[in-house]
Structure 1
């Protein structure tokens, strides 16, 4: 018997194989196209939501910034003012009842936490929501840290007690969270300025290594954000605010000292000023008319000399 396939059989087999290859190819192509379309549709759905959050006229409104100041920022600063006053008293008055002082500070931190916790922050301003969360965590951590020293606070000297507190893990994290909240608040101000005036640049990626030549061209709102970032990077919790550091940097540049010392970056100038205690609370208000007469700022009490 002739076992060779007839020509028609060969053509049939080849045709079948060809159709099988085409079918498989079409299947995988369909899967690829379907996946790409699904991903594209998802991206289109997400994009308007993100863009809307960034461009919404209700995002980072002046009302939100002012409300945050009074309901979250101010309660925290009031606690910090009392804490810093206690630090100074412990160092200058050895007979001070540090144990009672700590108990009062813990009570105040708890009260300010409860006050700031109920503040409503609209979802269209996520940076303010994050700032609120950071400040709340800070107050809670201060409570945990200080409470652990209340019983033994009157033992030894004030300086020894402060040294122990500053080494405490909860205390260190309390400082970090507060500075993170401060940066987020000043970032929200920069967002506000960019929404109100589209000519005002907004760049959350500015770094404290920024060259002084670039620093000089930045609007005040951006400089303040950089100053807040610097304080956060250096873990500096001070009585002065970011705008005080900004003003002192600009005063230092105006004096020509940065050029004489061959300093190149904003961070290098800030290092000298903070390490020599050259920045004070209120420096911005003293220098505002000299350097920032026409600069855009939100109408917040700490930017106004009459508040």
Structure 2
């Protein structure tokens, strides 16, 4: 006969099974808690998480940051550049101009603009804007030093000789270089912004002034402008026009069919021709905007839109 389990044996078996289930559950709970604590320690040690990184990236190069940079950094710098350009034109057009006095005013302007620009807050999540601010500030200091060295002898000799001497000064050359690098970084920041608005625009574009004209034609406007800024930087060109004005002149020239007739193949070859013939003017972009760029994405910055 089969021996039946007693009630005591059954209770003992059920108790053992219950304890086994509790032990296994406690083990997995401990593993989960340990993993959570380890992840927490790692997060504290590294100062961020993947989620935080993604949030930071999403908050970089916001439109309001580009607009703020325009008014607090870019515009004051361009105002100084305009004053310098106007002064040179006046010297060349009027031999009686007190150049020493004009140089003193330019030095004061450079110092004033520097003080205005250095207090501008740039979000750390937008490093290109911060780098651009730093470069603009260094550029102004170098311009100030170069111009102040010429004050005492500003009225000696011809105006053309003075301008040539300033252009050949080491401080001036470095100031020009840094200012154009800062400009390129600002326009690169616009590309970063555009990439957050339109996923078809890459945030790490491989742009070159040797780009072929066929490739240039299909680029979004923000990428064209960055390449134009890069060209101005490479050629050390700082004038009354901005990168978008050069972009507009290039596109106008291509639309005329002249590039094909002249067998020009690259962006730089067309830009060389336009700049060397003094064919680019400030405001060229606004004049060509309706024709070429009415549906193009650009940030809401004053130099992209005509005054109402």
Q: TM-score, normalised by structure 1?
A: 0.83
- Tell me the distance in 1 between the aligned counterparts of 2:193 and 2:280: 27
1:253 aligns with 2:246: no
Counterpart in the other structure of 1:166:
167
- Tell me the distance in 2 between the aligned counterparts of 1:57 and 1:283: 33
Q: 1:53 to 1:141 in 2, by over 3 A?
A: farther
- Tell me the distance in 2 between the aligned counterparts of 1:261 and 1:53: 48
Tell whether the 8 Å contact from 1:131 to 1:180 is kept in structure 2 after alignment: yes
Aligned ranges 1:123-142 → 2 under 5 Å = 123-142=124-143
Query: Structure 1 runs of 4+ off > 6 angstroms?
Result: 45-51
The number of residue pairs the alignment matches comes to 265
Deviations 1:108-139 (A, max 9, x none): 00000000000000000000000000100010
- Tell me the distance in 1 between the aligned counterparts of 2:252 and 2:305: 19
Q: 1:140 to 1:216 in 2, by over 3 A?
A: same
- Tell me the distance in 1 between the aligned counterparts of 2:283 and 2:206: 27
State the superposition RMSD in angstroms. 2.0
Tell whether the 8 Å contact from 1:131 to 1:181 is kept in structure 2 after alignment: yes
Tell whether the 8 Å contact from 1:53 to 1:59 is kept in structure 2 after alignment: no
Deviations 1:63-82 (A, max 9, x none): 00000000000100111111
Tell whether the 8 Å contact from 2:212 to 2:266 is kept in structure 1 after alignment: yes
Q: Secondary structure at the match of 1:203?
A: coil
Deviates more, 1:97-106 or 1:193-202: 193-202
Counterpart in the other structure of 2:88:
87
Tell whether the 8 Å contact from 2:139 to 2:178 is kept in structure 1 after alignment: yes
Counterpart in the other structure of 1:148:
149
Q: Which runs of 5+ in 2 are unaligned?
A: 1-41
- Tell me the distance in 2 between the aligned counterparts of 1:149 and 1:200: 47
Counterpart in the other structure of 1:189:
190
Deviations 1:149-184 (A, max 9, x none): 000000101111001100000011111010000000
TM superposition shift of 1:204: 3.9
1:105 aligns with 2:106: yes
Q: Secondary structure at the match of 1:205?
A: coil
Q: Secondary structure at the match of 1:298?
A: coil
Aligned ranges 1:1-307 → 2 under 5 Å = 52=53, 56-306=57-307
- Tell me the distance in 1 between the aligned counterparts of 2:50 and 2:158: 57
Deviations 1:48-71 (A, max 9, x none): 679937972210000000000000
TM superposition shift of 1:306: 1.6
Tell whether the 8 Å contact from 2:188 to 2:226 is kept in structure 1 after alignment: yes
- Tell me the distance in 1 between the aligned counterparts of 2:301 and 2:280: 21
- Tell me the distance in 1 between the aligned counterparts of 2:195 and 2:72: 24
Tell whether the 8 Å contact from 1:187 to 1:204 is kept in structure 2 after alignment: no
TM superposition shift of 1:47: 10
Q: TM-score, normalised by structure 2?
A: 0.83
